[in-house]
Amino acid sequence: MNPFPWSFSKLKAFEQCPFQFYNEKVLKRYPQVESEAMLYGTRFHEAAEEYIRDSTPLPKAFLYSKDALDKLNALPGDKLCEIKMGVKADLTACEFDDEDVWWRGISDLNVMEPTYARVIDYKTGANAKYADTGQLELMALGTFAKYSDVERVKAGLLFVVAKAFIKASYTREDIPKLWTKWLSKFSKMEAAFEHDIWNKHPSGLCRRHCPVTECPHNGRR
């Protein structure tokens, strides 16, 4: 077993509950079933990509997002959709599917100028109150690695349903500080793999949302 390649979503799942992560992601005993909310998000991402990249009209169900997407489309720079990024263990860039890829990320939309990039991730959740900007940090790090000429990244979580835009800004000077933070977080998941120790983190999500029924905190066995 090894934790590579890792991603923001993979690390967040581990932090929520290592034991659930082990059963779902490592042993794959409980294949993830896409909820209606997840399917909705997938459909929106596909529609937004086709709208920005190909000028394909938005489906009626997503017309509410047109103004927000038009503002992105009007920004100066090249619009690149669904950009796959990879980083090796030495923190240099590689391809998403390379054998030595260590971290992976996919940006929903990059708006590229010669030394400046905007990185956007679409969110279809109904509430932006608990938005996690950690994803933006990793997307910025991936962008800096992939595009060596980029000196500054403006990143944002666009909550199209909640009509909120969570912004953050980074420069190349932030790279060491950000990687120090994420290497510290990742080291805990790496240690779990190395020592095969998967602690249980009980929370209010156990009974209703966790499929690992053999866990004593699940309560549905």
- pLDDT tens digit sequence for 94-124: 999 999 999 999 999 999 999 999 999 999 9
Mean pLDDT along residues 164-184: 97
Q: How confident is the model at residue 214 (pLDDT cuts 50, 70, 90)?
A: confident
Which pLDDT does position 219 carry in this prediction? 65
Q: How confident is the model at residue 87 (pLDDT cuts 50, 70, 90)?
A: very high
Cα gap 213→220, rounded to integer Å: 6
Which pLDDT does position 86 carry in this prediction? 98
Which pLDDT does position 220 carry in this prediction? 61
Mean pLDDT along residues 86-96: 97
Cα gap 39→18, rounded to integer Å: 25
Which pLDDT does position 163 carry in this prediction? 94
Q: Side chain identity at 70, as an amino acid letter?
A: D
Mean pLDDT along residues 63-78: 97
Q: How confident is the model at residue 174 (pLDDT cuts 50, 70, 90)?
A: very high
- Residue 208 pLDDT > 80, yes or no? no
- In order of their start, the domains of the chain are 37-186 (3.40.1350)
Encode the chain in three state secondary structure. Answer: CCCCCECHHHHHHHHHCHHHHHHHHHCCCCCCCCCHHHHHHHHHHHHHHHHHHHCCCCCHHHHHHHHHHHHHHCCCCEEEEEEEEEECCCCCEECCCCCCCCEEEEEEEEEEECCEEEEEEEECCCCCCCCCCHHHHHHHHHHHHHCCCCCEEEEEEEECCCCEEEEEEEEHHHHHHHHHHHHHHHHHHHHHHHHCCCCCCCCCCHHHHCCCCCCCCCCCC
pLDDT digits (tens, 9 = 90+) for 12-56: 999 999 999 999 999 999 887 778 989 999 999 999 999 999 999
> pTM for the full model?
0.92
Contact assessment for residue 199 and residue 23, using Cβ atoms and an 8 Å cutoff = no
- Residue 221 pLDDT > 70, yes or no? no
Q: How confident is the model at residue 1 (pLDDT cuts 50, 70, 90)?
A: low
